[in-house]
Amino acid sequence: MKNILFLSSWFPSKVHSTLGNFVKYHAHSAAKFNKIYVLYIVADDNLKNYKLESFKEENLLVTIVYFKRGIFKYFNYWNAFIKGLHFLMKEKAIEFDLVHMNIMHPGIWQALYLYYKYQLPFIVSENWHGFQDLSRYKLSRLQLFLIKKGFKKSNFICPVSIQLKDCMKKAGYSANYKIIPNVVNTNTFKIGEKNTLNSFTFLHVSTLDDSIKNVSGIIDAFDKVDIPNAFLKIIGDGPTHWISEKVNNLKLSNSIIVKGKMNHKDISKEMQKANAFVLFSNIENLPLVLIESMACGTPFIASNVGGVAELHNDDVGVLVESGNSKELTLQMELLYSNYKKYDAKIIRQHAINHYSEEVVGKQFNDLYIEIL
């Protein structure tokens, strides 16, 4: 087993408990074959000084260094990274074989530093939808330079979808590309008991950012459905007050249930009970929630954006045009009418075959072996 340093621009922490969950799941999958050491640097302006926390999480050693940005925020960011490296390489005396960077922007400089100082090879897993159109983001010349250098010096770039790879190539970034998708914990997300009441429940789980997830579009579509005893359950870790206000204005409070942030076990239970999952996003990459829904044997209706089509076949769900609420209404009604055609075991097996920790972890391990 090799010692892999897992760096990331996003990772769950005390600052944001769900940011970069998919990175943590990638780390767990890679740890089935190698020793994975996570190092994450995150700003916390409530601190007066640096704070380093290191802990074991199942088969991972996670080290998080918190820092206060202040006037010299870039220096403090750099210094926090060096403190984390010193802890792992000096105090823990770990000799790393390879760096696995996650999310190119803004943390790619960390992998480049290790590449130049210690000649450590690195790969990059990429899930940021910003690469679908970088012109929408005001990146500095230095940031663009570092991204370009990251593509050039990496051994492999691993976007989670073919669509994201195509966007990167279209933007002019040449690299050794290897598609490695998001991963689902099939022990947590599994088939359970569906709602036993004489009703039909649609479920939506997201950050509730309406500009991206179009939750309002789901509500508008649900308002028009002609399905007896239909319910819509909306769960997320973003603001919910505007959703409740919209639901009340449409007089749908008896059929739309709005809940805040939940842990993964509770989300799994909601996916198990739901009859269908709905994702009506304007922008996506390879949404983990759809993979989790499939692992629970629950069919989905999703807008055909980003890499969503790569998750889809007729056995697991339906695709709709992004922003077309009339089509979403129609497909919700059709899924209800044709619900018996969906087999929970077939849906779950699709998730296991393509997105389980064992499958994705082996893909990472094959890359590590090829490099080393």
Statement: 3-183+356-371 belongs to CATH 3.40.50.2000:
yes
Q: Which CATH superfamily is domain 200-354 in?
A: Glycogen Phosphorylase B; (3.40.50.2000)
What is the model's pLDDT at position 61? 96
Q: Give the residue carrying structure tokens 């389980």.
A: 356
How far apart, in whole angstroms, are the C-alpha atoms of residue 268 and residue 293?
Answer: 8
For residue 362, the one-letter residue type is: K
Question: Does 159 sit behind a cis peptide bond, omega within 30 degrees of 0 on the bond before it?
Answer: no
pLDDT at 132: 86
Q: Which residues, given as ranges, of the chain have pLDDT below 70?
A: 196
pLDDT at 129 (0 to 100)? 86
Indicate the pairing of strand 51-57 with strand 60-67: antiparallel
Angle between helices 288-295 and 344-355 (to 10 degrees): 130
For residue 112, what pLDDT is reported? Answer: 98
pLDDT at 196: 67
pLDDT of 2: 96
Q: Give pTM, 2 decimals.
A: 0.93
AA identity, residue 275: N
Give how far Cα 250 sits from Cα of 19, 216, 220, 344, Å: 32, 11, 9, 33
Q: Quote the pLDDT of residue 195.
A: 74
What's the pLDDT score for residue 98?
98
Closest CA to 188 of 13, 17, 21, 342: 21
- 232 vs 216: CA distance, rounded Å: 12
> What is the per-residue pLDDT for 302?
98
Domain range annotation of the chain = 3-183+356-371, 200-354
